[in-house]
Amino acid sequence: MGSIKGVLVGVIVLLALRYGATYGLKSMVSAASSNKATCLVMVGNTTREESGLTYIVGNIRNDCERRVDHVTIDFKLQRSTDSNLGSSEVSVFAYSNNLQPGETQPFKTAFPIGKNVIYRYGGMTAF
């Protein structure tokens, strides 16, 4: 009877740890991203050609009271209507690091986009 109690207590402890790790981690990640991204400002964006390739470029400003270690900026590119690749949009990202309070930093998408592609700002995450 004692060994069954021990097994039941062990299972309950493992389930509690799993629950805490799963939901605790999700809430920490959500809080880190959503809280910091709300005080970041997209100052502007446009396209620029470099060596025959087109990139989305712009600036972001940190209106937070503390440093933001990493920012990911999402742009949605509209695909042509004759594309057989599924979704009508695809994401391209730009990144910024170590953004100090009050600082404005330039960004450039990590990969080039088509010269005449239509794009829109999709959002920003930060931690």
Buried b (16+ CB within 10 A) or exposed e, 72-103: bbebbbebeeeeeeeeeebebebebeebeeee
Stretch among 10-19, 47-56, 95-104 having the lowest mean pLDDT: 10-19
Residue 42 lies in a domain: yes
Domain count, the chain: 1
The percentage of residues in the chain with a pLDDT greater than 90, rounded to a whole number, is 57
Q: Can you tell me the distance from the alpha carbon of 75 to that of 93, in angstroms, rounded to the nearest whole number? A: 6
Residue 56, judged by CB atoms within 10 A of its CB (0-12, 13-18, 19+), counts as buried
Question: What is the chain's mean pLDDT, rounded?
Answer: 83
The span from the CA of 21 to the CA of 13, in Å, is 12
Q: Which domain holds residue 122?
A: 38-126
Mean pLDDT in residue range 112-116: 91
Amino acid code (one letter) for 42? M
Q: Give residue 88's pLDDT.
A: 79
Q: Is the residue at 31 inside a domain?
A: no
Looking up tokens 């990911």 gives 72
Predicted model pTM = 0.68
For 6-47, the pLDDT digits (tens) are: 666 666 766 666 666 666 555 444 445 455 688 999 999 999
CA–CA gap between residue 32 and residue 13 (Å, rounded) = 28
23, part of any domain:
no
Distance of alpha carbon 63 from alpha carbon 21, whole angstroms: 32
- On whether residue 5 sits in a domain, the answer given is no
